């Protein structure tokens, strides 16, 4: 293994649809693997719930134990403090790794649908990306997924980010409410709100179209977990591959489970909108292939946004062996 990998002790395996969540070892012989997740839309962690509900983790001998955290920052603190073995959060969590902590690294990238839009008031002054100059956009917090996403979109549209105002507004629902109330001129929100948006609000830019390179989620872990629980990581990824395939071929069951996860009623259109869009636009990749070009793009975006001081060679962030071994296991079952 390359010297950089031995220093950073990473294992990266990529996913293309929703996030990767929990894992554990053989229940009777090994300690459960502690997995933390950041808050996100229902689809982000749906494959993990499918893995639990339909016995995919049990099939591979993996037991799951999950905890929720209010955002990536707290999740990153948890992995750094050894409170969890695996941290599943948004793509920007990779920036935490890229800052050079030798004990932490990306365990997997979730190459899943980027279910975010930049929405505005229809009757407002913003008609194009260029019109965002001088106006306020609701984000989560500096360095968060919504913050980096809108900066990536502005970069793609050649609009200087320093000419746009950014207002931290919390979670998706908070940002959505700030836009509806006219507190902000635009907001980065989950596309789950599209089917319930009032007529005076519409989507100005869709992330998956403007910045298709943006990575939605990643899994960070520690060198300790990789050394002691690598077999469980492989089994977990293999089980997730099956869970992704299930979501793709059983959308009605995936939607039902999403309603249960979010405590919403069957007539709520949001879960169905997210699941069907992901399937119809072929945004799922059950093979969980590693998109190294997109990882490099993300690093460049982090540097441009001032989140990291410099980029690292992708070879220092990626070890395909976890994903590749998982694919071999999934192919045998």
Give the CATH number for residue 66: 3.40.190.10
Cα 279 from Cα 17, distance rounded (Å): 9
**How much of the chain exceeds pLDDT 70, in percent?**
79
> What per-residue confidence (pLDDT) applies to 27?
37
Inform me whether the pLDDT recorded for 33 exceeds 80: no
Tell me, what's the pLDDT at 16?
29
Task: Provide the pLDDT confidence category of residue 25 given band limits of 50, 70 and 90.
Answer: very low
pLDDT above 60: residue 17? no
CA distance 101 to 232: 23
Q: What angle do CA 152, 322, 243 make, to 5 degrees?
A: 75
CA separation (Å) from 169 to 37, 165, 291, 314?
A: 20, 13, 31, 33
State the pLDDT confidence band at 136, using cuts at 50, 70 and 90: very high
Q: At residue 4, does pLDDT exceed 90?
A: no
Separation CA 27–CA 30 (nearest Å): 6
* Cβ neighbours, 10 Å, residue 240: 34
Q: Write out the E strands in the chain.
A: 14-15, 33-38, 64-69, 86-90, 104-110, 116-121, 136-139, 165-168, 186-190, 201-206, 217-222
| 54-74: pLDDT as tens digits | 999 899 998 888 887 776 667
Using a pLDDT cut of 90, give the percent of the chain over it.
Answer: 23
As a whole number, the mean pLDDT across the chain is: 77
Range name among 11-25, 135-149, 291-305 with the lowest pLDDT average: 11-25
Q: Are residues 190 and 319 in the same domain?
A: no
| Per-residue pLDDT tens digits for 104-117 | 555 555 555 556 78
328 φ/ψ angles, rounded to the nearest 5 degrees: -65, -40
Confidence category of residue 150, pLDDT binned at 50, 70, 90: very high
pLDDT band at 148; cut points 50, 70, 90: confident
Q: What is the mean pLDDT of residues 155-161?
A: 93
3-state secondary structure of 311: coil
Are residues 268 and 122 located together in one domain of the fold?
no
Same domain, 102 and 173: no
Q: What's the rounded mean pLDDT across residues 273-280?
A: 81
Q: Chain centroid to CA 157: how far?
A: 23
Clarify whether residues 124 and 169 are in a common domain: yes
Q: Of the residues 210, 234, 253, which one is the last residue of a structural domain?
A: 210
Q: What is the extent of the structural domain holding 24?
A: 3-113+214-332
Alpha-carbon gap, residue 15 to 45, rounded angstroms: 12
Mean pLDDT value across residues 245-251: 91
- Predicted local distance difference test score (pLDDT) of residue 236: 87
Q: Which residue has the higher pLDDT, 19 or 223?
A: 223
CA-nearest of 228, 216, 226 to 102 is 226
Based on the domain organization, do 191 and 227 belong to the same domain? no
Q: What is the C-alpha to C-alpha distance for residues 18 and 64, in angstroms, rounded to an integer?
A: 17
State yes or no: pLDDT of 11 exceeds 60. no
- Residue in the block written with tokens 């009032």: 198
pTM: predicted TM-score of the whole model, two decimal places: 0.77
Helix (H, G, I), strand (E, B) or coil at 186: strand
Please give the tally of structural domains in the chain. Answer: 2
pLDDT score, position 329: 92
Per-range mean pLDDT, top range of 110-114, 218-222, 269-273? 269-273
Residues 179 and 226 in one domain: no
CB 71 within 8 A of CB 141: yes
pLDDT of 166 higher than 80: yes
Task: Give me the phi and psi of 207, to 5 degrees please.
Answer: -60, -45
Task: Tell which wins on pLDDT, 127 or 87.
Answer: 127
Do 251 and 163 lie in one domain? The reply is no
Cβ neighbour number for residue 264 with a 10 Å cutoff: 14
Question: What distance in Å separates the CA atoms of residue 150 and residue 173, rounded to the nearest whole number?
Answer: 17
Nearest to 239 by CA among 288, 291, 290, 280: 288
- Between these two residues, 131 and 148, which has the higher pLDDT value? 131
> What SS3 state is found at 147?
helix
Residue 102 has pLDDT above 60, yes or no: no
Residue 43, pLDDT score: 63
Q: Do 109 and 219 sit in the same domain of this protein?
A: yes
The pLDDT, as a whole number, for residue 207 is: 85
Which of 154, 189, 210 terminates a domain? The answer is 210
Residues 243 and 316 both lie in one domain:
yes
User: Which tops the pLDDT comparison, 316 or 263?
Assistant: 263
**Are residues 222 and 327 both part of a single domain?**
yes
Residues 282 and 137 in one domain: no
Tokens of 165: 């105002």
User: Measured at the alpha carbon of residue 200, what is the angle toward residues 196 and 203, in degrees to the nearest 5?
Assistant: 65
- Of 182, 210, 238, the position where a domain reaches its end is 210
Say yes or no: 109 and 120 in one domain.
no
pLDDT of residue 240: 86
- Residue that wins the pLDDT comparison between 145 and 119: 119
């Amino acid at each position: 293994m390359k010297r950089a990998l031995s220093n950073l002790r990473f294992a990266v395996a990529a996913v293309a649809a929703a996030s990767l969540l929990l894992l554990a070892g053989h229940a009777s012989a090994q300690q459960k693997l502690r997995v933390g997740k950041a808050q996100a839309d229902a689809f982000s962690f749906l494959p993990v719930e499918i893995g639990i509900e339909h016995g995919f983790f049990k099939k591979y001998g993996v037991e799951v134990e999950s905890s929720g955290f209010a955002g990536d920052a707290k999740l990153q603190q948890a992995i750094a403090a050894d409170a969890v073995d695996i941290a599943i959060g948004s793509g920007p969590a990779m920036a935490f790794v890229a800052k050079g902590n030798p004990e932490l690294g990306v365990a997997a990238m979730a190459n899943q649908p980027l279910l975010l839009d930049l929405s505005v008031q229809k009757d407002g002054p913003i008609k194009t990306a260029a019109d965002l100059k001088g106006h306020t956009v609701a984000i989560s917090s500096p360095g968060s997924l919504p913050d980096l996403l809108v900066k990536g979109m502005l970069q793609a549209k050649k609009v200087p980010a320093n000419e746009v105002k950014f207002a931290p507004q919390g979670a998706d629902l908070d940002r959505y409410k700030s836009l509806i109330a006219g507190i902000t001129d635009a907001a980065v929100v989950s596309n789950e709100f599209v089917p319930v948006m009032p007529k005076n609000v519409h989507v100005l830019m869709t992330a998956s179209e403007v910045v298709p390179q943006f990575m939605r989620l990643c899994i960070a872990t520690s060198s300790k977990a990789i050394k002691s629980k690598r077999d469980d990581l492989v089994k977990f990824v293999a089980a997730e591959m099956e869970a992704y395939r299930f979501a793709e071929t059983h959308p009605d069951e995936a939607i039902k489970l999403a309603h249960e996860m979010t405590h919403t009623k069957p007539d709520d259109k949001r879960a169905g909108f997210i699941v069907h869009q992901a399937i119809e636009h072929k945004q799922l990749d059950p093979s969980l292939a590693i998109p190294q070009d997109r990882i490099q793009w993300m690093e460049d975006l982090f540097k441009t946004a001032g989140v990291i001081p410099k980029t690292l060679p992708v070879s220092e962030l990626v070890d395909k062996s976890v994903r590749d071994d998982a694919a071999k296991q999934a192919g045998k079952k």
